[in-house]
Structure 1
Amino acid sequence: MVTVLQILFVLALVILLILLVFRTRQAAVFILPDHYLDLLNDYVSFYAALDEDGKKGFEEKFQRFLSTVKITGANADVEDLDRVLIGAAAVIPVYFIPDWEYINLREVLLYPGNFNTDFEQHGRERTISGMVGSGGLENVMILSKWELRQGFIHAGSNRNTAVHEFVHLIDKMDGTLDGVPELLLERKYVGRWETLLEETMQDVRSGRSEIDAYAATSPVECFAVLAEYFFSQPETFRQLHPELYELMRRIFVRR
């Protein structure tokens, strides 16, 4: 026979569980810093150039990203500026793509500086500033805090490590990391896109192009390097590489 004391015990246990779940959910909510709009205007030239409606659209994508993806420091303090810049880098390449979600990303690990292929933060051969993980690090991105900030502080350059890594995630969304974002590029343009990537890599290798030398590494890296350039210096990119520019617009500007 169930006693009153047993009923009270069960009720207390249920209430305790409810409170624990509520506290966990509260802790998971990311609260934007009060000055995040100032940080966006000061550091993110892409955002600063938008009109008021455009900024609101950017902010909605920005807030949604930061509320769903965890950002963790690995021997690095994650400051407000870092969160804002990571959120901005996530939004920039998909700003014109309606309803985009990075379903292949759950966490960004922020390292203080560059790292090596064993993810070591000290020692020699630390040449990696960003990486999209695989295997045990599937759905994880690693970024150097130093390079993250440099990409936005030096907005006039055509390099932005964080944007570069988010473009890798976009490329990977079709199931293959190959430099061809088939979810976004119409099939009839794929062949020409692959040809342009190869031609660009050849031009970079032979010194006939001002595009960053890392583009010559592979079609995967070529696509990401071109995207950095496209979003950082669109007018220069359009003037010097008109056909690449038009195909990049077909990939990223869905309007």
Structure 2
Amino acid sequence: MLYIISIVILLIILFYSLKKKNTFKTKILQNVIIPNHWHQLLSKNVLFYKKLSVKEQKLFCKKMFYFLQEKNIVAVHFELKELDTLLIAASAVIPIFRFDNFNYFNLQTVLIYPDYFDEDLQFDKSLKHRNIGGLVGTGRFENQMILSKKALYHGFSNKTDKNNTAIHEFIHLIDKADGVIDGIPTAILEKQYIIPWLQLMRNKMEAINNDDSDIRNYGGTSEIEFLAVAGEYFFERPKLLKRKHPELFKMLEACFMK
């Protein structure tokens, strides 16, 4: 009996601590003062933000502010500029903008490198095979993300492609929120959609690997990468995705547009 009472007490404490945390977050979002120049920078560089209503833009900025308060952004071998941090925060907010309380609890630090890097995380220009623009860390880099500054800026400067490295990596973190990166984002996808998602994903991957799709080839390498690549497409070129892949668009809408 005492054991049951102890469990109940612990559950009550956990409930109120989580409630208090969410209330604190809501308070931050309500009371924060956003620098006026953010609007100009985001309107110029982030198409997703530019398309939002004025009310939504204010909420977007508040969520960015909260992200920047909670996470560390560290530049490696270069001086960090404000736009660097804003683009990283925007990349984090875009996939979860429609969610009230989603927090990247599995991320503490974003390391931003000046250039693309190799598998050993080296970015010296004399090295070959520097083709990685971003990754979600494991092992000693657990709870860290590594991004290339060049890849970060390319993702927002090219408004006609379907690629955005930073958004891609944050989608991996969303996928990982249930404890494993497997291409099935159960943290945001309702149970009734899981089997249809698996079937659709495999069909689309087969089309990619048969060179019969405009979804980039990297999406055909694994379920993990398909989710992130398709997510990039969804946020970068939503109208094109809806026209060319209506079923996939609807499924991703069910994931990200709650």
Q: TM-score, normalised by structure 1?
A: 0.85
Which whole-Å CA distance do the structure 1 matches of 2:203 and 2:80 have between them? Answer: 40
Matched, 1:230 2:239: no
SS in 1 for 2:99: coil
* Post-superposition offset of 1:77: 2.3
Q: 5 Å matches for 1:5-154?
A: 35-122=37-124, 123-154=127-158
Q: Is the 8 A contact 2:162 2:237 kept in 1?
A: yes
1:211 is matched by which residue type in structure 2? I
RMSD over aligned Cα, in angstroms?
A: 1.3
Structure 2 unpaired stretches of 5+: 1-32
Which whole-Å CA distance do the structure 1 matches of 2:53 and 2:76 have between them? Answer: 36
Q: 5 Å matches for 1:164-183?
A: 164-183=168-187
Matched, 1:209 2:213: yes
Structure 1 unpaired stretches of 5+: 1-30
SS in 1 for 2:100: coil
1:95 is matched by which residue type in structure 2? F
* Post-superposition offset of 1:116: 1.0
Which whole-Å CA distance do the structure 1 matches of 2:65 and 2:182 have between them? Answer: 29
1:251 is matched by which residue type in structure 2? C
Q: Is the 8 A contact 2:136 2:146 kept in 1?
A: yes
SS in 2 for 1:92: helix
1:135 is matched by which residue type in structure 2? G
Among residues 189, 195, 199, which one is paired with 1:195 in the alignment?
199
* Post-superposition offset of 1:32: 7.2
SS in 2 for 1:192: helix
Q: Is the 8 A contact 2:34 2:61 kept in 1?
A: no
Which whole-Å CA distance do the structure 2 matches of 1:224 and 1:163 have between them? Answer: 8
1:204 is matched by which residue type in structure 2? I
**Which one has the largest radius of gyration?**
1
* Post-superposition offset of 1:183: 1.3
Which whole-Å CA distance do the structure 2 matches of 1:34 and 1:252 have between them? Answer: 28
1:156 is matched by which residue type in structure 2? T
Deviations 1:198-226 (A, max 9, x none): 11111111110011111011100000000
SS in 2 for 1:166: helix
Deviations 1:100-127 (A, max 9, x none): 1111111100001111111111211111
Which whole-Å CA distance do the structure 2 matches of 1:115 and 1:152 have between them? Answer: 19
